[in-house]
Amino acid sequence: MSVLFSKVALLADDCESTVGFLVCGIPQVEDDLKGYAAYDNFVGEHAESECFAVEVESYIYGTGETQTANEYEIAAFAQRGENLLNHPDLQIMQKSYFEIMNSAEHFGMELE
Protein backbone atom coordinates (compact mmCIF):
# COMPACT_ATOMS: atom_id res chain seq x y z
CA MET A 1 0.00 0.00 0.00
CA SER A 2 1.14 3.55 -0.69
CA VAL A 3 -0.15 6.80 0.78
CA LEU A 4 -0.77 10.16 -0.86
CA PHE A 5 -0.04 13.40 0.97
CA SER A 6 1.15 16.93 0.21
CA LYS A 7 3.61 19.43 1.55
CA VAL A 8 2.01 22.89 1.54
CA ALA A 9 3.84 26.21 1.65
CA LEU A 10 1.85 29.40 2.28
CA LEU A 11 3.23 32.84 1.48
CA ALA A 12 1.57 36.01 2.75
CA ASP A 13 1.36 38.97 0.39
CA ASP A 14 4.26 40.67 2.17
CA CYS A 15 6.40 38.07 0.29
CA GLU A 16 8.34 37.36 3.49
CA SER A 17 6.07 35.47 5.85
CA THR A 18 5.78 31.75 5.12
CA VAL A 19 4.72 28.53 6.77
CA GLY A 20 5.02 24.92 5.62
CA PHE A 21 3.05 21.87 6.74
CA LEU A 22 1.83 18.45 5.58
CA VAL A 23 -1.77 17.62 4.65
CA CYS A 24 -3.80 14.60 3.58
CA GLY A 25 -4.34 14.23 -0.17
CA ILE A 26 -3.91 17.07 -2.67
CA PRO A 27 -5.38 20.42 -1.62
CA GLN A 28 -6.83 22.48 -4.47
CA VAL A 29 -8.92 25.13 -2.71
CA GLU A 30 -8.97 26.93 0.64
CA ASP A 31 -11.53 24.53 2.12
CA ASP A 32 -8.99 21.72 1.73
CA LEU A 33 -6.67 23.57 4.15
CA LYS A 34 -9.15 24.89 6.71
CA GLY A 35 -8.95 23.02 9.98
CA TYR A 36 -5.21 22.44 9.84
CA ALA A 37 -3.74 24.34 12.80
CA ALA A 38 -0.78 25.65 10.78
CA TYR A 39 -3.12 27.12 8.15
CA ASP A 40 -5.63 28.58 10.59
CA ASN A 41 -2.90 30.13 12.75
CA PHE A 42 -0.98 31.59 9.80
CA VAL A 43 -4.07 33.18 8.25
CA GLY A 44 -5.10 34.54 11.65
CA GLU A 45 -1.63 36.00 12.27
CA HIS A 46 -1.61 37.64 8.82
CA ALA A 47 -5.13 39.02 8.73
CA GLU A 48 -3.86 42.13 6.92
CA SER A 49 -2.82 40.07 3.88
CA GLU A 50 -5.18 40.38 0.94
CA CYS A 51 -4.18 36.99 -0.45
CA PHE A 52 -1.96 34.00 0.18
CA ALA A 53 0.07 32.12 -2.41
CA VAL A 54 -0.13 28.36 -1.97
CA GLU A 55 2.52 25.98 -3.32
CA VAL A 56 1.66 22.28 -3.15
CA GLU A 57 4.07 19.39 -3.65
CA SER A 58 2.18 16.08 -3.67
CA TYR A 59 3.91 12.82 -2.86
CA ILE A 60 3.28 9.09 -2.84
CA TYR A 61 5.02 7.12 -0.09
CA GLY A 62 5.40 3.37 -0.53
CA THR A 63 4.32 0.99 -3.26
CA GLY A 64 1.10 -0.71 -4.30
CA GLU A 65 -2.45 0.60 -4.23
CA THR A 66 -2.56 4.28 -3.28
CA GLN A 67 -4.78 5.65 -0.54
CA THR A 68 -5.01 9.16 0.84
CA ALA A 69 -2.94 9.53 4.01
CA ASN A 70 -4.92 9.91 7.21
CA GLU A 71 -4.24 12.37 10.02
CA TYR A 72 -2.17 9.82 11.99
CA GLU A 73 0.09 9.12 9.02
CA ILE A 74 0.51 12.87 8.46
CA ALA A 75 1.52 13.31 12.11
CA ALA A 76 4.09 10.50 11.80
CA PHE A 77 5.48 11.99 8.57
CA ALA A 78 5.70 15.44 10.15
CA GLN A 79 7.78 14.04 13.02
CA ARG A 80 10.34 12.75 10.50
CA GLY A 81 10.91 16.29 9.25
CA GLU A 82 12.87 17.03 6.10
CA ASN A 83 14.49 13.56 6.23
CA LEU A 84 11.23 12.16 4.90
CA LEU A 85 11.66 14.04 1.62
CA ASN A 86 14.90 12.13 0.96
CA HIS A 87 13.42 8.68 1.63
CA PRO A 88 13.89 6.24 -1.29
CA ASP A 89 10.22 5.13 -1.11
CA LEU A 90 8.97 8.70 -1.61
CA GLN A 91 8.02 9.84 -5.11
CA ILE A 92 6.86 13.30 -6.08
CA MET A 93 3.58 13.07 -7.94
CA GLN A 94 2.89 16.68 -8.90
CA LYS A 95 3.41 20.33 -8.05
CA SER A 96 0.60 22.85 -8.14
CA TYR A 97 -0.05 26.46 -7.21
CA PHE A 98 -3.10 28.52 -6.33
CA GLU A 99 -4.04 31.69 -4.47
CA ILE A 100 -6.43 32.21 -1.61
CA MET A 101 -8.12 35.58 -1.34
CA ASN A 102 -8.50 36.68 2.26
CA SER A 103 -12.15 36.83 3.21
CA ALA A 104 -13.88 39.66 5.07
CA GLU A 105 -14.03 37.57 8.23
CA HIS A 106 -10.22 37.51 8.37
CA PHE A 107 -10.17 41.30 8.09
CA GLY A 108 -12.50 41.56 11.08
CA MET A 109 -15.28 43.08 8.98
CA GLU A 110 -18.88 42.04 9.00
CA LEU A 111 -20.77 41.27 5.83
CA GLU A 112 -24.10 43.03 5.50
- Mean pLDDT for the chain overall: 89
What is the per-residue pLDDT across 71-86, written as a single tens digit (0 to 9) for each? 999 999 989 887 888 8
Domain boundaries defined on the chain: 2-101
Element (H, E) at 18: strand 18-24
Give the DSSP letter of residue 103: P
- pLDDT over 90 for what percent of the chain? 72
> Is the pLDDT at 23 greater than 50, yes or no?
yes
Q: What is the pTM of this model?
A: 0.86
Residues β-bridged to residue 80: none
What is the per-residue pLDDT across 89-98, written as a single tens digit (0 to 9) for each? 999 999 999 9
Tell me the average pLDDT across 36-62.
Answer: 94
